[in-house]
Amino acid sequence: MEQRAWHTTRVVVTGGAGFLGRAVVRELERRGCRDIFIPRSKEYDLREKDAIIRMLKDGRPDLMIHLAAVVGGIGANRENPGKFFYENIMMGVQLIEQARLFGVQKFVSAGTICAYPKFTPVPFREEDLWIGYPEETNAPYGLAKKMLLVQSQAYREQYGFNGIFLLPVNLYGPGDNFDPSSSHVIPALIKKCVDAKRRGDPSITVWGTGTASREFLYVDDAARGIVLASEKYDKSDPVNLGAGFEITIRDLVELVVEETGFQGEVLWDATKPDGQPRRCLDTSRAEKEFGFKAEVSFREGLRRTVEWYEKEVKGEE
């Protein structure tokens, strides 16, 4: 799909009203796309086949970007393994099948870094996706998403269906989910520090030991990568989307404490799980195949996210 074709391309973005979805829609608009359909869950329950068929008739897409997911941090994954597996797999599998039957030209699946095996050699290379079982706390979610890769590859082989599969690393940025019951690590830490500072609390408690490492990708960078892949990548091989760096949770906490100005003590609850021991991606395939490289530095992205949350808190007072 050549860049100049965006103005004539009809795009459906599932999850388009969510954190990543809003950034993808902004990026599509920036590139000249004018026909973007965002199915809202109250109108289209994408776990249901009939709702998917109705959505396809209403949106009439040339391209589908599937970002909708039932997601959360370690706590939410531990409490809802069945729900996370069922709802993610039912959404994705039926969307791909109905998109094929409907004649959609291209289907872009956003997978998850949780699909990688627990002890994947660092940096994670796409070839290592099948060398073991995912980390237990989020395996049901990771495997549900991973099945969309299997389906995309099988459908390409049998039907010539152009489905691609992307593996974005942990995302963060302004507009993230800051709900403590379902948020990921960066918004959860920012909220803890900002709220504790406002209340004058002497300490905050953080899950785990701090030894696990993670990689984080700024949401606008992720959106640019997804749109670039939608435009330029047409192969069955999965592709990592990341920033290509690694930071321990302990170092992350120190940065968040610094950026928020929290002066209290950090207590570590080692009875809580660390999750996957290490996460860092080999991002060379994305650069080679469609010219994607992260641009926003982690410190800058973190600063923007903290500033956004602090403004939101002030606006609620």
* 159: annotated active-site residue: no
Q: Say which DSSP state 165 is in.
A: E
Task: List the catalytic residue out of 141, 172, 233, 309.
Answer: 141
Closest-CA residue to 280 (of 199, 170, 115) = 170
CB-based contacts of 313: which residues, under 8 Å, 6+ apart?
A: 194, 195, 198
- 46-54: long-range contacts, CB 8 A cutoff, minimum separation 24: 46/14, 46/91, 46/94, 46/95, 47/87, 47/90, 47/91, 47/94, 49/94, 49/98, 52/94, 52/95, 52/98, 53/98, 53/102
Q: Please report how many Cα atoms fall inside a 13 Å half-sphere around the Cα of residue 22, on the Cβ side.
A: 10
Residues in the chain: 317
* SS3 letters across 41-64: CCCCCCCCHHHHHHHHHHHCCCEE
Active site residues: 141
